[in-house]
Amino acid sequence: MAVRTDTSIMAPEQREQREEIVELLTKAYWMEIETVMSYIANSVNPDGVRAQEIKESLEKDIQEELGHAQQFAERIKELYGVVPGSDEFAAEQSYLQPPEDQIDVVHVIKGVIEAERGAIEHYSHIVEATESVDMVTQDMVIDILRDEQGHLRLFEGFLREYEAERRG
Ligand SMILES: [Fe+2]
Ligand SMILES: [Fe+2]
């Protein structure tokens, strides 16, 4: 009789594969945490009438990105990982730091687009890495990926409008 190997991601013999996924999820977790920080700052800092829409939109996104961070944390735990403490945080979003002039909304819009593109790239990688390995993580990340695509699309629209206005 053939010996059946349990390929469930929860099985003891899948430890290595699980650890790889936990590593990818941990990076995603930090990306979300940093995005929350950046979006809080950029939902408050910008000046001017035209910045209001951007600020309101970012304010709404904060809750969504926080929810993503919590989902990544939960999944890390389910896969027998440990959600890291703040000591391990390392900032990467240099492009989302406050601009010199708080009226520079285009700087903010471009920064958000870069953050969302980065998330989409990493989450697409997780979707590929979990294919036929961990469908539950894959399913969760596909849902989050869709949210990020929505954010990207929205801010690409904002940028188009600003650039059209600049051209007159
Ligand atoms: Fe997110
Ligand atoms: Fe996002």
Please give the average pLDDT of every successive group of 10 residues along the chain, which has 168 residues: 68 95 98 98 96 96 98 98 98 97 97 98 98 96 98 97 86
First-to-last alpha carbon distance for the chain, in angstroms, is 76
Q: How far, in Å, from the CA of 2 to the mean position of ligand 1?
A: 44
Q: How far, in Å, from the CA of 155 to the mean position of ligand 1?
A: 14
pTM: 0.94
Ligand nearest to the CA of 116: 2
Give residue 2's pLDDT: 53
Q: How far, in Å, from the CA of 35 to the mean position of ligand 1?
A: 7
Which residue is it, tokens 């304010």?
A: 59
Q: How far, in Å, from the CA of 4 to the mean position of ligand 1?
A: 38
Give residue 15's pLDDT: 95
Q: How far, in Å, from the CA of 65 to the mean position of ligand 2?
A: 6
Q: Report the run of H or E that residue 36 belongs to, with start and end.
A: helix 15-42
Summarize the chain as % helix, strand, coil (round to 5). Answer: 75, 0, 25
Q: Which amino acid is at 121?
A: E
Ligand nearest to the CA of 150: 2
Give residue 4's pLDDT: 52
Q: How far, in Å, from the CA of 115 to the mean position of ligand 2?
A: 7
Give residue 168's pLDDT: 74
For residue 17 the two structure tokens come to: 């594969």
Q: How far, in Å, from the CA of 65 to the mean position of ligand 1?
A: 4
Q: How far, in Å, from the CA of 6 to the mean position of ligand 1?
A: 33
- CB-based contact 65:42 (threshold 8 Å): no
CA distance 161 to 62: 23
Q: How far, in Å, from the CA of 113 to the mean position of ligand 2?
A: 9
Q: Is 64 exposed, middle or buried (0-12, 13-18, 19+ CB in 10 A)?
A: middle
Give residue 127's pLDDT: 98
Helix 51-78 / helix 15-42 crossing angle, nearest 10 deg: 160
- CB-based contact 89:27 (threshold 8 Å): no
